[in-house]
Chains A and B, each alone.
Chain A
Amino acid sequence: MSLQQAKPPLPSDDKRWKLVNATMRRNGYADHALIETLHSVQDAFGFLDEGSLRFVAASLDLPLSKVFGVATFYHLFTLKPKGRHACVVCTGTACYIKGAGGLVERLQERYDINPGETTEDDRLSLLTARCVGACGLAPAIVIDGDVLGKLDSESLIAKLEELT
């Protein structure tokens, strides 16, 4: 049993750190709460930067290398900030058969970014996912968390243009 050790101070007085701390506390600061904690950092801040990884490592008493290793292993975690809007194109098999590849190409062309990148004005990030479980609506697109189905590239771009 490890002794109760002093917890590191919050990286800033941003209220969102309280949420992160709550997740760790709920799990008794156990090392196996790492993934849950990273989820909560990403939910709160949108991405994981070095400062937050250091803070989590110190709080859970884990080597930074391990925290970094876990954060980079899982596709859902991102170390780069995202744009104001996120457009996730499902590239699972059903969506692939129904033309998801063409949608990605068209978006790459239109916004001059590759999957995983964000436009220069920070407005839009283009991402891909492996099956969002709405295969009946293939090709499926997730815009800012909302799943939309059966879109062609023109109506998709029209929707993206409406975002501010």
Chain B
Amino acid sequence: MNLDDLADLAEQYRAIDANVEREVRVCMAASCQSSGAAPVLDALVAGLGESQPACKVKGVGCMGLCSAGPLVSIAHRDGSLEESTIYRDVTADDAADIIASLDGPPVERLRCPTDQPFFARQQKIVLENAGIIDPDSFKGYVAVGGYSALIRALSEMTPADVLREVTDSGLRGRGGGGYPTGLKWSTVAKMPATQKYVICNADEGDPGAFMDRAILESDPHRVIEGMAIAAYAIGANKAYVYVRAEYPLAVERLQTAIRKAKRSGFLGNKIGDTQFSLEVEIRLGAGAFVCGEETALMASIEGLRGQPRPRPPYPAESGLWGYPTLINNVETFANIAPIVREGGEWFASIGTERSKGTKVFALAGTITNTGLIEVPMGTSLRDIIEVIGGGIPGGKAFKAVQTGGPSGGCIPAQHLDIAVDYDSLKTLGTMMGSGGMIVMDETSSMVDVARYFMEFCMTESCGKCVPCRTGTQQMHSILDRLAKSQASRAELALLEELCEVVQATSLCGLGQTAPNPVLSTMRYFRDEYEAKLGDA
């Protein structure tokens, strides 16, 4: 298959819906399903029946404002099927009103204004199809240009060309560390080996983060396409997606996507009639946070306890079963198709000097608009929280935002104007992490928050090395005594000392970063620690 054939195929698939004047889209991603999206979809399908062939009802992926779900959007052909109306908190009983309003003005009482900053201020690259296409529909993905980047890479580009575009794009890994993707790919590509592997890290262990889940549930083919392009670029013919078992819907949609891609010749043998072949397999996690760490993840795929091992050797050299392995995050792979399609330079024109492109953030905690947003790197925290996120509900004051999960830290109000990118967050003693942002209002106690994260790291420590295993336990017990106003000043000093030791001597990222939430809360909220001293 060449690009023209694929374009014809896309045209054919678009023609199926050529007579559709309106689409009624129901968010069927996990969060909206939990709020009752399925009965809404059923009621709309039943209500419209065959009576209006020009109107199509379909299930789609996440529209972003998950806390207001179930969400339903109406798209009109005259706006090239762009959504014009979004309804929030829809129930099955509302279906009749929605159907009745299709030819007239929208149902005001359900309306969610799309000109509000939450929608208007976003820039979607990774999520460009989310909420628009049916994630289970292969035809739907191809109709919007899906797989053209893969076919383009296979038919018109050498692996070196692909590596160059990815390097030029300046894309950095979205799994936490921000390592340059092009550099990682080039390293694996250079390795002389007959067998290489690609792994997609879909473990998403950071509590409070759901970007990867939403991407997999909204646009699974996009991730597969990115993995296939990567495999072509580095010379791999076998790939794994390691997904956490807590995400059953994501697993199901991924399975469907893999099956359909294979049946249509976009995975499997001789993809697009070239010499390139790729098998993709899913592996389920089993509830261990440390398995998100790349060496632990590979041990888990090999059927072992998920315990990290020292690096080097890095997976790029010696990974799965000792072979060179490329491991990237879900969102990293989801950025690949647009980079190949539009070129690395285009991608590099978005974002900041050292952090290119957009970033998907999960907004949670005490914030008005809870959900998923995608904004250019460099957007200010204040814009994200106050403007897009709608600020703190209930007239309370903002206190801090926690970024980077258990490896990150809390940012106080005086730093809200910082432009968010990998490096700026580090200067504040926290990190981007995978993109979870938990907003806290004045009622949150920072000592409690530090204790919470230490408890997390303590229970999730794999136990392999002493500093992390016993250090997190000690730190937790001091924090617990602090929270109960029982700790002495000497213990507080010991806590600080422990932070340094655990940071410096732990084997893997879990232990090395476990002290971060403590250090960052101490840095900005020292008075809260002081106030809790038993002998103060």
Binding site for B on A (CB under 8 A): 30-36, 38-39, 69-70, 73-77, 91-98, 129-138, 140, 145-149
Contact = CB atoms under 8 A, between A and B. Distances in A.
Nearest to B68: A136
Interface residues of B, number: 52
Given A92-B208, A136-B66, A149 B284 contact: no
B256 interface: no
Interface string B439-462: 010001000000011001000101
B305 A69 contact: yes
Contact of B34 (A32, A91, A148): A148
A97 to B, nearest CB: 5
A38 B286 contact: yes
Given A74-B286, A76-B286, A147-B34, A133 B210 contact: yes
Interface stretch (B42-50, B127-135, B296-304, B477-485): B296-304
B206 interface: yes
B438 A93 contact: yes
B67 A137 contact: yes
Contact of A134 (B31, B306, B405, B460): B31
Contacts of A98: 365-366
Given A36-B284, A94-B208, A94-B365, 9 more contacts: A32-B303, A34-B303, A35-B303, A97-B364, A97-B438, A98-B365, A135-B364, A138-B364, A146-B34
A146 B36 CA distance: 11
Interface string B298-342: 001111111100000000000000000000000000000000000
A97 B366 contact: yes
Contacts of A32: 301-303
Contacts of B289: 130
A138 B363 CA distance: 11
Contacts of A92: 207-208
Which residue among A30, A69, A130 has the maximum number of chain B CB atoms within 10 Å of its CB?
A130
10 contacts: A33-B303, A73-B307, A74-B306, A76-B285, A131-B207, A131-B246, A134-B30, A135-B208, A135-B364, A137-B67
A32 B305 CA distance: 11
Which residue among A39, A132, A149 has the maximum number of chain B CB atoms within 10 Å of its CB?
A132
Contacts of B31: 134, 136-137, 149
A76 B245 contact: yes
Given A32-B302, A39-B245, A70-B303, A131 B209 contact: yes
B28 interface: no
A39 B30 contact: no
Given A32-B301, A33-B303, A70-B303, A75 B287 contact: yes
Contacts of B440: 97
A33 B303 CA distance: 6
A151 B461 CA distance: 31
Contacts of A74: 285-288, 306
A149 B34 contact: yes
Closest 8 CB pairs of A and B: A92-B207, A136-B66, A74-B286, A76-B287, A94-B364, A75-B287, A32-B303, A131-B207
Given A69-B305, A74-B306, A94-B438, A130 B207 contact: yes
A97 B365 contact: yes
Given A31-B303, A93-B405, A97-B365, A135 B286 contact: no
Interface in B195-250: 204-210, 213, 245-248
A132 B209 CA distance: 9
B67 A133 contact: no
A133 B246 contact: yes
B416 to A, nearest CB: 18
Given A93-B452, A96-B452, A97-B365, A135 B210 contact: yes
Contacts of A146: 34
